[in-house]
């Protein structure tokens, strides 16, 4: 085993003072040798937790094949195969085809997600043979020395070896929001993440033995749950299941005992009454629509880590944006250096170079300084205080060429200086131009002094220019047009954030709010959030509180971010969106990762979600109209004590032409309708009247046909007339749902009508489906009844739309 480094550690200052500074380690563990790694791999001591973004192929097949309704339909199919004829079992072959389509589409989505997950996978830095290198998470072995920096996620359990101001947030595991300052020898828990500083730890538990292994596996798994669409469909299917049982019993008993039909005929009529009650294709089309959405978004380098996130983002009405990395690009440039109080510019540049060299994991601001002011080897860092989003500053102590024990701080001027300091007036002017300003200040105190920021000496202002994302203006305008409120929530100076947002044309950016003045009460905070648009100097905990306050007001909240200070808010938001170049911790908790780091991808995700929601609502109405008229026909048949008017083959033909085939195309069509809540209520308020009208029209035609036709061959003629009415009425429902019309929607409806016409005029298809219109009186009567039903359907749809506007 490698030798543990000895590191000087000091306690945090009392009374809530700044976390203690850390001395740089005297030695560093070299990590495992190649031979030791091979030995551990051979023993199976590898981090073999399957981190994947999609279900396995076996799970996909199992979830599509072994469903409740496939089991019911499978039993009914076997019964029909026994009593015959085969054409009455066509519904079984349709289910097989549908299941196959669902499996193929989900496997395609799995392949897309798995490929994207490889791109966005975390690669920890591990020391082996004294050299640090990035490796896949799955290749970490027991005893590996893993380096950590701000934003890194702790992937396995371990023991701290080195610390350099290492602060770890364990809130995702313990619920405690305060960062924990780690010392050598203390435990590291997988699932936590680094908020400040750096260090290294040795892996003591890997794979499924790690504390948060199962949690991490479940969090990153492709899932089909927690969706209003899927929850609503499950609720509908539960009710349908309970209706099927008494309906089946009633149909078989009435046909056998009351009507005295032969057993095989009674069974066929019972199956015909039960099968159309099952909206089996609705579950399939929902899964297919989501899977196709994943594939489409994958082509745009958007990784959907949780499938319902496509739907969820389409439902949000507030999107909270972190400025840095979202509205602006990650990098910055030094715009100007303004010495204060007669400070020597050359000396100031030396200090800045030394501060840059003191941080092994610089953030974007410090990286800009490093790129501009190279370090002077004469400056030796003795202690350092890493930057923290909660503190808003960093610091270091040096043995410089001119003085001993100098301490320097670099951070937000309005945090380091008292409220009325004259330097703040100059910084306000710069902030108003959208520039970012950092204060370089000297201090006579030690870094672990609780009053470190008291009596600092302002030495220089470092003016940084942020790079605006060229696509941010268009994206913000899109959200405004879609009635989605955009809130910019940033840890930077409020005036500076407001100026940046103003350049991008965000309404309300001219009145930024300093979050330090926000009330602590959740209701009062929610009011301030409703009224304001831009918020600056927001702490990580405040971001979380803001999300909670908006949710308490009934808002669906999306949060975007890329930094470690965004993790808590991303986790609590309804939808978390992380940038691919962001910290490992943000990518781990977000439902959507924009691998191309483009904020402009979000409208595509919203559009994809709206397509899924709008189209599934459309096709669900088709399926549930069939369920309603099937239940109605079964009830009416039982009340009138007459044979069920249809055979399974008739309803298979009608379902295929009026629902199955058109629903597949409609479910995947473009749709820009805004997402609306209450899926079940919205579907049923159209499906119930449509089903009642359609079923009543078909039954009236059947009763008239029974009175009109006589003789031993009357039943096929009666069934054919009733089938004609049912088809025409169902086609009108399809024609309504297909609106607004486009050329392909009109062609789709006409093609389905042509398909039924071909069956009616082709002799062998007439025999196969047992359909033949006899005479002219009843067929034209069936058409007339269908026309009346069409008028009633139009009236019902218009009345429902007027009575219950969306």
b/e map 415-442, b = 16+ CB within 10 Å: ebbeeebebbebbeebbeebbbbbbbbe
What stretches of 401-534 show up as alpha helix (H) in DSSP? 413-416, 423-431, 472-481, 494-503, 522-531
CA-wise closest residue to 457 among 408, 506, 514: 408
CA distances 669 to 308, 611, 806, Å, are 19, 7, 21
Whether the Cβ atoms of residue 424 and residue 381 lie closer than 8 Å to each other:
no
Contacts of 499 (CB under 8 A, 6+ apart): 431, 432, 433, 434, 435, 509
Rounded-to-integer distance, Cα 450 and Cα 514, Å: 24
Rounded-to-integer distance, Cα 127 and Cα 348, Å: 36
Angle, in degrees to the nearest 10, between helices 602-640 and 280-298: 170
Rounded-to-integer distance, Cα 286 and Cα 299, Å: 20
Rounded-to-integer distance, Cα 408 and Cα 606, Å: 46
At 165 the three-state DSSP class reads strand
Contacts of 75 (CB under 8 A, 6+ apart): none
At 707 the three-state DSSP class reads helix
What stretches of 645-740 show up as alpha helix (H) in DSSP? 648-655, 661-667, 679-708, 714-737
Whether the Cβ atoms of residue 30 and residue 2 lie closer than 8 Å to each other:
yes
CA-wise closest residue to 301 among 474, 122, 137, 113: 113
Rounded-to-integer distance, Cα 460 and Cα 334, Å: 13
CA 293 to chain centre: 12
Whether the Cβ atoms of residue 202 and residue 29 lie closer than 8 Å to each other:
yes
Contacts of 225 (CB under 8 A, 6+ apart): 308
Residue 33: both structure tokens together: 């040798």
Which residue has tokens 């619920």? 175
Angle at 504 between CA 501 and CA 506, to 5 degrees: 60
For the question of residue 471 being annotated catalytic, the response is no
Rounded-to-integer distance, Cα 583 and Cα 600, Å: 20
CA distances 578 to 213, 316, 321, 589, 602, Å, are 21, 16, 11, 9, 11
For the chain, the distance separating the N- and C-terminal CA atoms, rounded to the nearest angstrom, is 67
Helices (H) and strands (E) in the chain, counts: 28, 21
Q: Which of 88, 152, 157, 322 is catalytic?
A: 322
Catalytic residues: 322
């Amino acid at each position: 085993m490698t030798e543990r480094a000895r590191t000087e550690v000091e306690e945090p200052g009392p009374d809530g003072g700044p976390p203690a500074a850390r001395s740089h380690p005297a030695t560093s563990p070299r990590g495992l040798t190649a031979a030791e790694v091979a030995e551990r791999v051979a023993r199976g001591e590898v981090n073999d937790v399957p981190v994947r973004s999609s279900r396995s192929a076996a799970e996909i097949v199992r979830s599509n094949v072994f469903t409740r309704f496939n089991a019911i339909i499978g039993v009914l199919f076997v019964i029909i195969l026994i009593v015959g004829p085969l054409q009455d079992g066509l519904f079984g072959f349709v289910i097989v085809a549908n299941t196959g389509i669902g499996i193929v589409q989900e496997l395609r989505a799995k392949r897309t997600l798995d490929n994207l997950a490889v791109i966005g996978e975390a690669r920890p830095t591990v020391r082996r043979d004294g050299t640090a290198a990035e490796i896949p998470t799955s290749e970490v072995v027991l005893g590996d020395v893993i380096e950590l920096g701000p934003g890194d996620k702790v992937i396995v359990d371990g023991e701290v070896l080195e610390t350099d101001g290492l602060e770890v947030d364990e809130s995702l595991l313990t619920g405690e929001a305060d960062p924990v300052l780690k010392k050598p020898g203390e435990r590291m828990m997988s699932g936590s993440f680094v908020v400040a500083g750096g260090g290294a730890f040795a892996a003591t538990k890997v794979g499924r033995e790690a504390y948060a292994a199962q949690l991490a596996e479940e969090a990153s798994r492709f899932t089909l749950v927690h969706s209003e669409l899927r929850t609503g469909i499950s609720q509908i299917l539960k009710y349908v299941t309970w209706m099927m049982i008494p309906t089946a019993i009633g149909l078989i008993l009435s046909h056998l005992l009351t009507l005295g039909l032969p057993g095989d005929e009674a069974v066929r009529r019972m199956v015909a009454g039960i099968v159309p009650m099952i909206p089996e294709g609705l579950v399939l089309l929902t899964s297919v629509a989501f899977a196709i959405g994943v594939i489409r978004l994958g082509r745009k380098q958007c990784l959907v880590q949780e499938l319902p996130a496509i739907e969820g983002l389409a439902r949000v009405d507030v999107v909270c944006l972190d400025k840095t990395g979202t509205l602006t690009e990650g990098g910055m440039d030094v715009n100007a250096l303004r010495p204060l109080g007669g400070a020597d510019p050359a000396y100031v540049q030396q200090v800045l170079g030394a501060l840059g060299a003191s941080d092994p994991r610089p953030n974007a601001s410090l990286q800009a300084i490093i790129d501009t002011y190279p370090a002077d080897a004469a400056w030796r860092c003795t202690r350092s205080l890493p930057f923290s989003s909660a503190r808003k500053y960093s610091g270091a102590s040096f043995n410089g060429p001119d003085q001993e024990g100098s301490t320097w701080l670099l951070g937000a001027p309005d945090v380091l200086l008292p409220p009325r300091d004259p330097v703040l007036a100059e910084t306000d002017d710069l902030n108003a131009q959208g520039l970012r300003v950092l204060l370089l200040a000297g201090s006579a105190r030690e870094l672990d002094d609780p009053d470190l920021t008291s009596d600092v000496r302002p030495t220089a202002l470092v003016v940084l220019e942020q790079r605006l994302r060229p696509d941010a203006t268009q994206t913000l305008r899109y959200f405004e047009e879609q009635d989605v409120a955009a809130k910019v929530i940033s840890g930077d100076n409020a005036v500076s954030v407001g100026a940046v947002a103003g350049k991008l044309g965000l309404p309300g950016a001219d009145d930024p709010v300093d979050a330090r003045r926000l009330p602590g009460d959740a209701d009062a905070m929610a009011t301030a959030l409703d009224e304001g648009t831009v918020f600056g100097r927001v702490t990580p905990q405040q971001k979380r509180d803001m999300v909670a306050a908006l949710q308490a007001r009934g808002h669906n909240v999306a949060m975007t971010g890329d930094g470690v200070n965004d993790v808590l808010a991303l986790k609590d938001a309804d939808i978390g969106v992380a940038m691919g170049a962001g910290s490992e911790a943000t990518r781990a908790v977000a439902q959507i990762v924009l691998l191309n780091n483009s904020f402009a991808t979000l409208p595509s995700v919203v559009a994809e979600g709206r397509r899924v929601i709008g189209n599934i609502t459309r096709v669900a109405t088709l399926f549930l109209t069939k369920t309603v008229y099937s239940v109605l026909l079964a009830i009416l048949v039982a009340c009138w004590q007459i044979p069920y008017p249809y055979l399974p083959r008739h309803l298979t033909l009608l379902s295929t032409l009026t629902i199955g085939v058109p629903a597949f195309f409609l479910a995947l069509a473009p749709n820009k309708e805004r997402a609306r809540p209450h899926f079940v209520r919205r579907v049923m308020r159209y499906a119930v009247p449509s089903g009642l009208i359609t079923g009543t029209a078909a039954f009236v035609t059947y009763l008239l046909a029974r009175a009109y036709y006589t003789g031993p061959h009357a039943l096929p003629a009666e069934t054919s007339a009733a089938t004609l009415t049912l088809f025409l009425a169902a086609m009108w429902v399809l024609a309504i749902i297909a609106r607004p019309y486009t050329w392909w929607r009109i062609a789709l409806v006409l093609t389905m009508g042509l398909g039924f016409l071909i069956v009616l005029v082709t002799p062998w298809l007439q025999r196969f489906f047992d359909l033949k219109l006899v005479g002219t009186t009843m067929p034209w009567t069936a058409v007339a009844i269908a026309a009346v039903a069409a008028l009633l359907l139009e009236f019902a749809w218009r009345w429902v739309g007027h009575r219950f506007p969306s």
